[in-house]
Every structure is written in structure tokens, then in C-alpha cells.
Amino acid sequence: MSVEEAAGLLAAARRVFVVTGAGMSAESGIPTFRDALTGLWSGCDPMTLASPDGFEANPELVWRWYASRRERVLAAQPNAGHLALVRLEGRYEDLMIATQNVDGLHGRAGSRRVLELHGNILESRCFREGRRLEERELDASRVPPSCPCGSHARPGVVWFGEALPDGVLGEAAAAVARCDVCLVVGTSGVVQPAASLPIWGRAAGAKIIEINREESEITLAAHVVLRGSAATVLPSLVDRIAAVRNASEAS
């Protein structure tokens, strides 16, 4: 299966839905979930670092892990794959990105229609009330900083066992149900409900294109599989779409 085939599907599409995961940002220097548990954090269990129970049990440890990930995100830049998706958005009236990433890099690259399924690591929320906290509200003399209500601040991300932000899943489900092509980039396809989006798209008639370095849980459902890295494959795919469209207009 080839870039040519994927470009043909995208050139003929009117509506496109893109699902991205941690592999999308790997070449920006942001570790995937598996890779983030190396080094200092190698002994830690994901459920301890990314669940409400884990936070309650050890808020300082969890806050420090997220603080180290925030630093990586702040130092990172969008890669050629993020920039290719900005170009792709310019080709369609209806293109939506639903990302599992919490790094905000699609928005920083310039994509305008982005659903952050799992929140944003640069934001903080009150652990008790759930409301979003502004930086000036945080008592930064503590670790974790505290909310004016006395509870801890927590990272503004979705943890295991938590619901997605209000309305976001419904918006993503509606967009994937109406798309002609669903492009799935750099996700292992194991985290629900995000992993179901391409499956719902396929059930509604969409063609599925996967871009991933390795086989994933999405691979079997994909019509076209492009093995390679997001920052390499996406730019060449977007270039090919332009070539396919030009060729069909000329003929």
C-alpha cells in the first residue's frame, strides 16, 4: 500500500477527520507514554502517575512528573508532520483534528480546528472542584500548588478512569461520522474512547489511512497503511495530494 493510494483517497475526499496520538509529537522530542516512563520515572506505574487515586495517594510525586513533562512541552516545537496537517486543513472546508496529545502542538503549529480529547498539560484545574485555574490563582509556594479553595491544583489532563471534557467526544463522534477519510497518526489505539473513533468512522463508510512506525490496534481496520514516521510521511503525503489533484484537473 502506498502514499499514492492514500493521496488518491484524500484528493477525492470532501471531509477529513484526523486522529493523532503520542507518535505525532515524538519527533518534536516529546516522549510517547511508554518512553516517558524511562529514566527517573522507570520504576513508576502509569496508574500511579495518571489516575485520580494515584494523585490522592502521592500528589507531590504526580505533580513533579507532570512538571517535568511540561518543561519538555514548553521547550518543544511543532515538527514537519504538524505543519503538514496545517497545509492539509487549508485544502478542505471540513477538516477536524482530534488529538490524544496534551502538548498543544497542533494549535501552536497553526491548526484551527483541534479537539483536545485528553486536555492540555499546560493548564491546571482544581482537584476538588474541577474548574480551570489561572496561573495567578495558584499558590506556587506549595507542591502541588494549591487552589484558593484549599484543595490541590492538578494538571489539566484526562487521567485513566476519567471522562473526557464536556462535549468534546460528541463533537469528535459527529465529525468522524460525516468524514470521507479518517487519517490516524501515531497512536497505539489502546486508549478508549479515542481508539473507537476510527472504528466508528469506518462503520459510517469512511476510508481509514494509518500512519505509524509500527503495527497498532488500528492497523486491521485501515484501508491504507503507511509505515513510517509522522514527520516524514505526512509532508510527502500532502505534497502528493496536490500532485494528484493537479493531474486530474489537467486530464
Question: Which lies closer to ligand NAD via its Cβ, residue 99 or residue 146?
Answer: 99
Q: In the bound complex, what is the minimum distance in angstroms from residue 168's beta carbon to ligand NAD?
A: 13
**Residue closer to ligand NAD (CB basis): 40 or 247:** 40
**Chain residues that interact with ligand NAD, rule: CB under 6 A:** 21-23, 25-27, 30, 32-34, 36, 100-103, 118, 186-188, 190-191, 211-214, 216, 229-230
Cβ–Cβ < 8 Å for 136, 142: no
Helices and strands (H, E) in the chain, number of each type = 11, 9
Whether residue 152 lies in the annotated active site: no
DSSP 5-21: HHHHHHHH-SEEEEEE-
Q: Which is nearer to ligand NAD, 148 or 193 (CB)?
A: 193
3-state SS, residue 227: strand
Give the C-alpha separation, 103 to 122, whole Å.
7
- For ligand NAD, the closer CB: 9 or 231: 231
Nearest-approach distance from CB 133 to ligand NAD, in angstroms? 20
SS3 at position 232: helix
Task: Tell which residue, 172, 199, 181, has the closest CA to residue 237.
Answer: 181
Query: Active-site residue among 106, 118, 152, 223?
Result: 118
CA distance 228 to 35: 18
Comparing every residue's Cβ against ligand NAD, the nearest one is: 23
Give min distance, CB of 37 to ligand NAD, in A: 10
By annotation, the residues acting in catalysis are 118
